[in-house]
Amino acid sequence: MKNKLLPLSITFIFIIIFSLTNCQESSNKDDLKQIVDGLNKKCPKMIDSETKFEGLEFIEPNKIIYKFTLINLSVLNVDTTQFKLALWPGILSTIKISSEMKKLRDNQTNIDYLYLDKYKRHIYTFKIAPENYH
């Protein structure tokens, strides 16, 4: 009798774990969609005299892309190595300490910061994984 219950018990445990994981995943996804929708209502928005925040994009299951345009810059005039060195510390610091980023940190979200030039050409994408900010 015990041998017959073991497979049923294991199956039951897997069903519970799967159900809880799906609920958690759905909740995280809803949180991220809510963040994206809320911020996109305020976009596009000038951050400073050089940078326009175009908006966000949610990529399932757990990724957000922040999109920026540098309105006075052409990619032809950018040293991407220097660009990365100049911006990376500030971006990482913002993600690590900003209260606005707490839900993203709590959800272990992958975060990309995409920068385009004034002609909408790609300059650089910063890819930030949870291990970068924890």
Backbone angles phi, psi at 129, to 5 degrees: -100, 160
List the beta bridge partners of residue 122.
116
State the pLDDT at residue 13: 43
3-state secondary structure 11-40: HHHHHHHHHHHHHHHHHHHHHHHHHHHHHH
Give the β-pairing of 51-59 and 122-128: unpaired
pLDDT of 97 strictly over 60: yes
Report which of residues 28 and 19 the model is more confident about. Answer: 28
Percent of all residues in the chain with a pLDDT value above 90, rounded to a whole number: 72
Q: What number is the average pLDDT over the span 39-45?
A: 95
Read off the DSSP letter of residue 57. Answer: E
pLDDT classification of 12: cutoffs 50, 70, 90? very low
Distance of alpha carbon 90 from the chain centroid? 16
User: Is the separation of the CB atoms in 35 and 57 below 8 Å?
Assistant: no
pTM, 2 dp: 0.78
- Within 10 Å of residue 54's Cβ, how many Cβ atoms? 17
Antiparallel, parallel or unpaired: β 63-70 and 110-116: parallel
- Give 78's pLDDT tier (boundaries 50, 70, 90): very high
For residue range 21-31, what is the model confidence (pLDDT) as tens digits? 333 445 678 88
pLDDT in the model for residue 64: 96
pLDDT of 26: 55
Window from 7-11, 53-57, 74-78 with minimum mean pLDDT? 7-11
Rounded Cα distance, 29 and 61, in Å: 7
Q: How many Å apart are CA 126 and CA 134, to the nearest integer?
A: 17
* 3/89: higher pLDDT: 89
Across 85-98, average pLDDT: 95
